[in-house]
């Protein structure tokens, strides 16, 4: 009798699993259909799409490609050993670890005793330091990949494009042929799956992708360039893009930024300044542009053209190069008077109005004066690293044969562009430096920090701050003025929607249609509940025929963790689901309502003593559940809920 009951229970459990399997199959069937591309719209199934992930700075594992004996430590480095990031070896053999991380500051070659190379595959970007404790702390793209798996994406549909984030853009191609391989990745994905790719780039990965688009212009026939993009890239999701650079880069270059690693600030500065990529993230003016130095024809001929760097009149009418304040305020000894500064003779004499012989002088520098090298020339006599910086700045950036990356970029010529970033977190936008009296690399100390916080400027010391704060603040790493540059990609009329990040019934959704957009920024006239985190969507599908542009601002989403935000991943999937559905009447997915999409989105409502969202979720205990919320799961028919987002 017992066996009969167990058999019956097993059969019932099998039926339940079968029902769930059929439901998932139904979801897959709903997604299937004819695959068509036209006018920026995708109709068909995402089984033909590929997702290509380009990670950000310090978000790719580096492995040793040398044999290095570490004295006084039981841990040596052998080929394929993890270097970035292995906290165990960092703590026990920091000098050996540094040899494997440092590059020659002039030619970007490896240390004579150890070299490191980027790992490959998805494992290179999911967790930097795998382990029970270190894994979650160093997780980057792991949650993103889990979402892909839960929604049925095949293993060959998610492609990582890791790179050596220490290198300048030209060295990525010269040493590793990175951009050539990236082009092959897109072409292989098209042949393998039959459809274009969706690019997901985070932080510095956006700069890498921008350089790839410019490099591509020089590799294929001009008439085929746009067609190649249309065939191979369906959409570009730019997440946390430092479009005008990041002020934190300055802190890393002058005083060191440890990023939470157990190293001194001086060691962090020494390592950071050896990387050619450190200059790639410097802040620069939105009013200055540079012509390409070389124009390379697709047939292989190279013709040298003028290398001009020109700024609009606004650059000289405004004080801060489009940022909220001066980025660097530095105290410099003036024992030799003005003659000690021959390299900055072009500066306005107001910079020296308070100079007294024998007394330190404070100089201020804008984003333009940092990116064009004027700041580094000014401190050349007082900082031994400035000469290296000026050499690398000219060689790898100002004279780059493909692109000067330290210039603002226009909307990429891709059908669908989504710019996504966090806002209203406290973000560093300016620094006060002074000599420390110590030798390099500890020769500068930070005496004060300027922050932007929700539309205002404050200093760490409490002193009054002069500047032009924006309507919001940045994402803890990149200032708002840099993140929101992509709003210039929107057309003259924009539809704006503000909705809660969490699941909602639509009662707190605000919409403004056809908002005029003449200036560089557009700010909605909408209310906020102080306890609710919102997403604000700026959408334009009319200004460029066949193309869509959208900007998403996520409240309180910080720079690193935004790629792990459940709200962001949900919105990405709903937008893709909307695009592939043949009956979509609108250009963008509806924001009217958001319900749970995964079991993890269901939870227990203790006030009503039931699972929240009963139309989506139900109580269904599974052995191993330890609390009521864990037993709340999606109903078997939840696949039908996706139809609400068509």
* Range name among 246-250, 255-259, 303-307, 543-547 with the lowest pLDDT average: 303-307
The counts of H helices and E strands in the chain are 18, 27
pLDDT value of residue 14: 47
User: Which of 354, 410, 518, 583 is labelled catalytic?
Assistant: 518
Q: pLDDT, tens digit, for every residue of 135-159?
A: 666 788 888 888 777 777 788 889 9
Three-state secondary structure call for residue 372: coil
DSSP 103: B
Torsion of CA 256, 258, 259, 260, to 10 degrees: -150
Give catalytic status of residue 475 as yes or no. Answer: yes
Bridge partner residues of 105 (DSSP):
none
Q: pLDDT, tens digit, for every residue of 631-644?
A: 999 886 555 666 66
pLDDT value of residue 642: 67
Q: pLDDT, tens digit, for every residue of 519-544?
A: 778 999 999 998 999 999 999 999 99
Assign 26 a pLDDT band (cuts: 50, 70, 90): very low
Give catalytic status of residue 203 as yes or no. Answer: yes
108: phi > 0 → left, psi -120 to 50 → alpha, else beta; which?
left
Sign of CA dihedral 423, 426, 430, 431: negative
Q: Residue 428: what are its φ and ψ, rounded to 5°?
A: -75, 130
Percent of the chain with pLDDT over 70: 83
User: Which of 424, 475, 540, 601 is labelled catalytic?
Assistant: 475
Q: Which long-range contacts does 295-303 make (Cβ < 8 Å, 24+ apart)?
A: 296/218, 296/401, 298/218, 298/219, 298/220, 298/221, 298/222
Q: pLDDT, tens digit, for every residue of 258-272?
A: 988 889 999 999 999
Q: Of the segments 35-49, 574-588, 621-635, which one has the largest average pLDDT value?
A: 621-635
465, pLDDT greater than 70: yes
pLDDT value of residue 354: 41
Assign 39 a pLDDT band (cuts: 50, 70, 90): very low
Residue 377 CA to residue 273 CA, distance in Å, equals 16
Give catalytic status of residue 508 as yes or no. Answer: no
Q: Of the segments 148-152, 174-178, 460-464, which one has the largest average pLDDT value?
A: 174-178
Residue 197 CA to residue 162 CA, distance in Å, equals 16
Within 8 A by CB and 6+ apart from 70, the residues are 76, 77, 93, 95, 96
Residue 149 burial (CB count, 10 A): 11
More confident residue, 339 or 112: 112
Cα 199-203-205 angle, rounded to 5 deg? 45
Average pLDDT, the chain: 85
Within 8 A by CB and 6+ apart from 283, the residues are 244, 245, 246, 247, 249, 250, 321, 323, 327, 367, 370, 371, 479, 482
- By DSSP bridging, strand 416-423 and strand 233-239 are parallel
Q: How far is CA 303 from CA 295, 300, 306, 407, in A?
A: 6, 10, 10, 22
pLDDT value of residue 133: 60
180, pLDDT greater than 70: yes
More confident residue, 117 or 347: 117
More confident residue, 212 or 299: 212
For each of the domains in the chain, give its residue range(s) and CATH number, in order of start: 45-243+417-422+480-494+507-580 (3.40.50.1820), 247-295+309-337+357-410+423-459 (no CATH), 601-644 (no CATH)
Cα 455-459-464 angle, rounded to 5 deg? 85
The answer to whether the beta carbons of residues 485 and 321 sit under 8 Å apart is: no
**Averaged pLDDT for residues 536-556:** 95
pLDDT value of residue 111: 94
Provide the strand spans (E) within 436-582.
444-453, 456-459, 493-500, 510-516, 534-540, 548-555
Q: Residue 449: what are its φ and ψ, rounded to 5°?
A: -130, 140
DSSP 105: T
User: Which of 50, 66, 168, 203 is labelled catalytic?
Assistant: 203
**Burial (0-12, 13-18, 19+ Cβ within 10 Å), 302:** exposed
**Averaged pLDDT for residues 600-629:** 92
Residue with tokens 């790839």: 212
2, pLDDT greater than 80: no
Residue 96 CA to residue 620 CA, distance in Å, equals 53
Residue 434 CA to residue 411 CA, distance in Å, equals 39
Q: pLDDT, tens digit, for every residue of 59-77?
A: 999 999 999 998 887 888 9
629, pLDDT greater than 80: yes
Assign 9 a pLDDT band (cuts: 50, 70, 90): very low
**Averaged pLDDT for residues 618-645:** 82
């Amino acid at each position: 009798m017992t066996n009969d009951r167990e058999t019956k229970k097993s059969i019932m459990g099998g039926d339940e699993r079968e029902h769930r399997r059929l439901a998932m199959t139904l979801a897959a069937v709903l997604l299937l259909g004819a695959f068509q591309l036209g006018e920026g719209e995708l109709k068909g199934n995402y089984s033909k799409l590929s997702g290509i992930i380009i990670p950000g700075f310090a978000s790719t594992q580096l492995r040793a490609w040398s044999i290095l004996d570490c004295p006084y430590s039981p841990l040596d480095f052998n080929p394929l050993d993890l270097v970035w990031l292995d906290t165990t070896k960092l703590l026990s053999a920091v000098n050996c670890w540094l040899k494997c991380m440092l590059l020659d500051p002039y030619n970007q070659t490896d240390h004579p005793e150890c070299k490191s190379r980027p790992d490959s595959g998805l494992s290179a970007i999911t967790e930097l330091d795998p382990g029970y404790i270190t894994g979650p702390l160093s997780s980057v793209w792991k949650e993103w990949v889990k979402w892909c798996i839960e929604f049925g994406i095949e293993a060959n549909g998610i492609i990582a494009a890791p790179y050596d984030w220490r290198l300048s853009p030209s060295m990525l191609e010269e040493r590793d042929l990175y951009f050539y391989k990236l082009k092959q990745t897109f072409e292989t994905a098209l042949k393998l799956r039959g459809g274009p790719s969706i690019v997901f780039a985070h932080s510095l990965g956006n700069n890498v992708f921008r350089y790839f688009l410019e490099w591509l212009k020089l590799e294929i026939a001009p008439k085929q360039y746009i067609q190649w993009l249309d065939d191979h890239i369906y959409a570009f999701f730019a997440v946390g893009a430092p479009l005008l650079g990041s002020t934190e880069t300055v802190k890393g270059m002058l005083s060191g930024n440890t990023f939470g690693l157990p190293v001194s600030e001086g060691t962090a500065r020494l390592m950071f300044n050896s990387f050619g990529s450190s200059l790639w993230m410097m802040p620069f003016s939105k009013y200055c542009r540079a012509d390409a130095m070389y124009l390379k024809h697709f047939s292989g001929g190279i013709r040298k053209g003028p290398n001009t760097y020109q700024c609009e009149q606004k650059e000289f009418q405004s004080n801060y190069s489009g940022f909220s304040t001066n980025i660097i305020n530095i105290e410099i000894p003036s024992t030799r008077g003005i003659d000690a500064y021959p390299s900055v003779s072009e500066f306005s004499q107001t910079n020296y109005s308070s100079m007294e012989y024998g007394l330190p002088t404070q100089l201020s520098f804008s984003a333009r004066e940092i990116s064009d090298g004027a700041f580094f020339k000014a401190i050349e006599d007082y900082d031994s690293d400035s000469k290296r910086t000026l050499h690398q700045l000219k060689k790898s950036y100002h004279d780059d044969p493909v692109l000067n990356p330290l210039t603002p970029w226009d909307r990429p010529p891709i059908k669908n562009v989504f710019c996504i970033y966090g806002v209203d977190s406290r973000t560093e936008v300016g620094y006060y430096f002074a000599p420390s009296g110590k030798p390099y690399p500890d020769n500068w100390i930070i005496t004060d920090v300027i922050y932007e916080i929700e539309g205002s400027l404050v200093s760490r010391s409490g002193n009054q701050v002069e500047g032009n704060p924006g309507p919001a603040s940045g994402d803890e790493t990149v200032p708002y003025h840099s993140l929101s540059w992509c709003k210039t990609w929107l057309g003259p009329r924009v539809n704006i929607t503000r909705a809660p990040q969490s699941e909602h019934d639509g009662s707190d959704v605000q919409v403004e249609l056809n908002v005029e957009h003449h200036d560089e920024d557009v700010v909605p006239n909408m209310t906020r509940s102080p306890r609710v985190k919102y997403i604000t969507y700026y959408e334009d599908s009319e200004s460029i025929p066949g193309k869509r542009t959208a900007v998403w601002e996520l409240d309180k989403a910080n720079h690193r963790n935004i790629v792990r935000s459940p709200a962001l991943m949900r919105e990405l999937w709903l937008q893709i689901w909307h695009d592939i559905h043949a009956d979509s009447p609108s250009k963008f997915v509806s924001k009217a309502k958001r319900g749970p999409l995964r079991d993890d989105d269901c939870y227990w409502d203790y006030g009503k003593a039931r699972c929240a969202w009963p139309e989506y979720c139900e109580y269904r205990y599974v052995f191993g559940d330890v609390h009521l919320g864990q037993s709340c799961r999606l109903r078997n028919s939840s696949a039908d809920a996706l139809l609400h987002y068509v």
